[in-house]
């Protein structure tokens, strides 16, 4: 597979920016997503400076606002009706040591909102563009750090901890990957998730005051494999720890838990969008 149109969320820093640069310098058409125009310009300038292919487009949305996610989907569907690959990469990390709970613009726990729910809604809205371009791929960048969702307190009103918030959002991404892969079986659109690498030297790792253990190159190469390796053309619904097929935390394999997550997600999206109408 040689993708022609790849949308990368969070292309303004860390892994997303590395992927955008690497794909563009290989001649792939990238659509850069970010929330900050200056940082998007910086990424595009870096691509030009490295002699990469001019990005196909730049799209803006704060993923902590489902109204903006919805408008982002409208814009992508209008400008890029055929999308080969969607990389759901943007995320918020553990936060600074001891940092408290934060909410999205819609009043949803921030890491659940940005890391999982934004990608859930964006992906669902972009399915027509992916199906049109089939064979196409959804790549969800998640983590080996996973925690089960307590459906009695999914927004972590009680006993908040940044690690737990991040980890439950990452398991939710894997649960969604398994579900959407099943739903898309036979359409030519695959969905896979991966842990790119452990503690890459990026902003979220620096913010949490953790010591980097891997490079962007390590995580980038593993992610590129899911984006473009022809050997994975038929592989779908799989979680990879870098390049190795791996087993996620048990809740991801429980169909009842996945259904509960789907129902919660649809209700949260519906409520947020209704409040903005």
Ligand X SMILES: NC(=O)c1ccc[n+]([C@@H]2O[C@H](COP(=O)([O-])OP(=O)(O)OC[C@H]3O[C@@H](n4cnc5c(N)ncnc54)[C@H](OP(=O)(O)O)[C@@H]3O)[C@@H](O)[C@H]2O)c1
Q: Find the catalytic residue in 120, 160, 163, 166.
A: 166
Q: How far is CA 247 from CA 111, 166, 239, in A?
A: 23, 19, 7
Q: What are phi and psi of 7, to 5 degrees?
A: -95, 125
Nearer to ligand X, 69 or 189 (CB): 69
Report residue 211 as tokens: 């010591």
Cβ 68 to ligand X shortest distance, Å: 8
Q: Which is nearer to ligand X, 118 or 136 (by Cβ)?
A: 118
CB of 247 to ligand X, least distance (A): 17
Interface residues toward ligand X, by CB under 6 A: 10, 12-16, 34-36, 39, 62-64, 89-93, 114, 141, 143, 195-196, 199-200, 202-205
Token pair listed for 65: 């606002």
- Which single residue is written with the structure tokens 């089939």? 134
Task: Give dist(CA 59, CA 7) in Å, integer.
Answer: 9
Give the DSSP H or E segment for 136: strand 136-141
Beta carbons within 10 angstroms of residue 172's beta carbon: 29
As measured in angstroms, the least distance from the Cβ of 220 to ligand X is 9
Respond yes or no: is residue 166 known to be catalytic. yes
The residues that bridge with 193 in the sheet, in sequence order, are 140, 239
Name the residue with the smallest CB distance to ligand X: 14
Q: CB–CB of 219/212 below 8 Å?
A: no
Length of the chain: 277
Rounded Cα–Cα distance for residues 213 and 200 (Å): 6
Instruction: Give least dist CB 268 to ligand X, A.
Output: 16
- β partners of residue 191: 138
Neighbours of 39 (CB within 10 A): 15
Q: Which is nearer to ligand X, 38 or 78 (by Cβ)?
A: 38
Question: Closer to ligand X at the Cβ: 133 or 205?
Answer: 205
Question: Which residue, 114 or 149, is less far from ligand X as judged by CB?
Answer: 114
Give min distance, CB of 36 to ligand X, in A: 4
Spatial distance between the Cα atoms of 259 and 175, rounded to a whole number of angstroms: 9
List the catalytic residues: 166
């Amino acid at each position: 597979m040689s993708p022609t149109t790849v949308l990368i969320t969070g292309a303004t820093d860390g892994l997303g920016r590395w992927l955008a640069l690497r794909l563009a310098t290989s001649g792939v058409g990238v659509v850069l997503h970010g929330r900050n125009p200056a940082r998007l310009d910086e990424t595009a300038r870096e691509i030009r400076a490295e002699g990469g292919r001019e990005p196909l487009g730049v799209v803006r949305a704060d993923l902590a606002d489902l109204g903006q996610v919805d408008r982002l989907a409208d814009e992508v569907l209008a400008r890029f009706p055929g999308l080969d690959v969607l990389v759901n990469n943007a995320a918020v990390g553990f936060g600074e040591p001891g940092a408290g709970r934060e909410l999205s613009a819609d009043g949803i726990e921030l890491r659940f909102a940005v890391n999982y729910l934004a990608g859930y809604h964006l992906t669902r809205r972009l399915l027509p563009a992916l199906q049109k371009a089939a064979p196409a791929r959804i790549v969800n960048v998640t983590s080996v750090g996973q925690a089960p969702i307590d459906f009695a307190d999914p927004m972590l009103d009680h006993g908040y901890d940044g690690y737990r918030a991040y980890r439950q959002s990452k398991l939710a991404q894997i649960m969604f990957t398994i579900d959407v892969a099943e739903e898309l079986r036979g359409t030519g659109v695959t969905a896979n998730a991966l842990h790119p690498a452990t503690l890459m030297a990026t902003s979220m790792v620096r913010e949490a005051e953790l010591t980097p253990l891997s490079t962007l190159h390590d995580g980038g190469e593993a992610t590129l494999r899911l984006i473009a390796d022809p050997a994975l053309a038929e592989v779908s619904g799989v979680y990879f720890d870098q390049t190795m097929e791996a087993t996620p935390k048990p809740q991801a394999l429980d169909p009842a838990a996945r259904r509960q997550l789907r129902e919660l997600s649809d209700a949260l999206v519906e409520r947020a969008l209704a409040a903005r109408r």
